[in-house]
Amino acid sequence: MAAWSTRAAGPDDLPRLRSLLTDSFEAAIIPPASALLADAVERDLVRVAESEGELVGCIAAEMPSPGHARLSVIAVRASTRRQGVASQLLTEMVREFPRRSSEAPLISAVARTEELAVTRLLLACGFIGTRVMRTDATSGTSGTSLHIHYQHKARVEYVDPDARHLVPAHAREQLAESLAPSDQAVTAVVTLGGKPAFEIARFEQDDPATLQSGEAAAGIAFSGSILAAITFLLGFAFSSSRFPDDVRLLLIGATFSTVLSLIIYASASGELARIRSNSFGKIMKWGNVLSEYGGVFPFLISLPVTYAQASGDPWSTMILAVVLSAAIGWYERSEFSIAHRFRRTRPELALMVLTAASPAAGAALVVADATSWPWTTVLTATLAARTWLYLFRRGAEADIEERRQWQIRG
């Protein structure tokens, strides 16, 4: 366990923050003035690492607009460096920014070419160097450093493995020329001939309109297939006099929800083609959530009940139900589920357990010839609660944490 803890800075920390910056000035990206530092603390844009009552590290930022956050200082005392203090502070700060607005802001920083420790920290935490900043200090011929703009990658992009090259850190003109194209960026710091060098990589450019159009088409095709399966199962339910009425109502609700998701997916296509109000992500979130929790799960959970009515074999029914419950539980915990795209809390985990246990519970009630209305009521409430949670209490699906912000595609 680390000998230090992290927290948001308060006004009482200002004297100790100034002392920390003075003692570790070389670790700062852009040392803020006292007034700027106080304003950052007031806006909750400063985090500190504390050990035995002493501040051993801090990170501060500015937020000139809701859509842009700029890291202004990263400082760690010399005695506490190389212990992961700066990395944890930076990681926590990056995670905190998206919670401040409905859309995740661009997170950036500026570091000079000789600030290799800061550069390595930024690159290790998902930043890439995208361009040279033409300030007064770097536009002249004197001096040996450049200011490079780094930004945090909020989504996965692919690097062309055959379009990478190394540029020595002291080669100012070559570095500026390499970063001039918008698809090239600094992705690593290496040692070349005993001296530091930057690895410049080219990112493959995606066509967002094509990707979104394909996603909308896939959503329509998927919901259409699920609607066909639910309709077939609903036809069997009405043809059987032994089929529970509450399960029929559950399937009717699933049919309505799936049709609604189809309409929403069609609206996403209209958003791409004509409306263009930049709400594609919000529309797709509605379609995905309604399709899964209003259509897919009621359909899957009803399968053991259908099998019990068709076969009349309690043993095979329970085996099928238990296997289905285990499969739903695995899916819920996997990265393929809709739930994986949102932040999870303890109440949500309880709802996930209820969802996974529903096939086994429902099949047991049918096998025992018991009243299944309480089970259907609990299941409907569970799925409705999860739908409400993801639609109204969570942000966009883009809020998910990526394992990697960029990767090499071979």
Residues 141 and 254 placed together within one structural domain of the fold: no
Cα distance from N-terminal residue to C-terminal residue, the chain: 38
Q: In which domain, by residue range, is 345 found?
A: 208-399
**What does the block give as tokens for 218?**
């896939």
In this structure, the answer to whether residues 223 and 154 fall within a common structural domain is no
pLDDT for the residue numbered 164: 92
CATH number at residue 35: 3.40.630.30
Cβ(21)–Cβ(75) below 8 Å: yes
In the structure encoding, which two tokens stand for residue 339, read together? Answer: 């739930």
Question: In this structure, are 264 and 159 located in the same domain?
Answer: no
Q: Are 290 and 325 contained in the same domain? A: yes
Asked if the structure places residue 265 within a domain, the reply is yes
Q: What are phi and psi of 148, to 5 degrees?
A: -110, 135
Residue 349 lies in a domain: yes
Number of neighbours of residue 284 by Cβ within 10 angstroms: 21
In a domain, 286, yes or no: yes
Q: Are 182 and 224 in the same domain?
A: no
**What local confidence, expressed as pLDDT, does residue 26 receive?**
54
Q: How far from chain centre, in Å, is Cα 273?
A: 27
Domain count, the chain: 2
What is the full per-residue pLDDT of the chain (410 aa) written as tens digits? 457 888 888 888 888 888 888 777 654 444 566 778 888 888 888 888 888 888 888 888 888 888 888 998 888 888 888 888 889 999 999 888 877 766 778 899 999 898 898 999 999 998 999 999 876 544 443 456 789 999 998 777 888 888 899 999 989 899 999 999 989 999 999 999 899 999 999 988 777 778 788 888 999 999 999 999 999 999 988 888 878 888 899 999 999 999 999 999 988 888 877 767 678 888 899 999 999 999 999 999 999 888 887 788 889 999 999 999 999 999 999 989 999 888 888 999 999 999 999 999 988 988 888 888 889 999 999 999 999 999 998 877 754 444 455 666 65
Is the domain of 45 the same as that of 175?
Answer: yes
Query: Is residue 152 in a domain?
Result: yes
Let me know whether 112 and 14 are in one domain.
yes
Boundary residue ending a domain (203, 228, 245): 203
What phi and psi, each to the nearest 5 degrees, are found at residue 135?
-95, 175
Do 227 and 166 share a structural domain?
A: no
Q: Residues 170, 231: one domain?
A: no
Confidence at residue 140, expressed as pLDDT on a 0 to 100 scale: 42
Residue 138 has, within 13 A of its CA and on its CB side, a CA count of 21
Asked whether residue 308 falls in the same domain as residue 164, the answer is no
Residue 20 lies in a domain: yes
| Domain limit, last residue, from 172, 203, 234 | 203
Residue 409 lies in a domain: no
Q: What is the pLDDT of residue 37?
A: 82
Residues 183, 218, single domain; the answer is no
The Cα–Cα gap between 125 and 90 comes to 7
Residue 404 lies in a domain: no
Whether 14 and 161 share a structural domain: yes
Inside any domain, residue 408:
no
Which of 187, 203, 219 marks a domain boundary? 203
287/281 Cα distance (integer angstroms):
10
**CA torsion through residues 225, 231, 236, 237, sign:** positive
